Chains A and B, each alone.
Chain A
């Protein structure tokens, strides 16, 4: 029973365009959401987070949107760059952090 779902295993986006990665969750007790980025042969690294009391958090080219009523969050990357090619994990926290399966983002030249 997956509490955090990333339904798109992969996504390809042209360089310079917007990348939108989606994540759905089922547990309404989650109070904090995070995105991690993972390159091959490396561990995941923290990217951006958002508290459940907010609906948007922005950090440079990265913005996370939270829609609590829909139990949905998304990560927007604008503009997309070649170095953004990686696997992105959505995660949510109640008493521990639960990760989704990840979405592989390919930025096309």
Chain B
């Protein structure tokens, strides 16, 4: 299985900050990477697929980049509703695997 490792596991930030979350794959996955946002008690929401393509309706303050083994999710000008847990997932090969999650908390 391809292992996905996110860093950091948790992150404290303030409203208005710009933050970056990193996701590393244990082997190359080209750009077969998705990012999800999950709020407590809710289903995950798809943000980005193919490493950098925003899902319909997702604001451009979210951006993704990377290819191969190293990927990033950047959120600019954090708003209160964006404090959540973020997951990356590879879909290059089965079984699809997720990172362990990054919990973004208000400082």
A and B are interacting partners: no
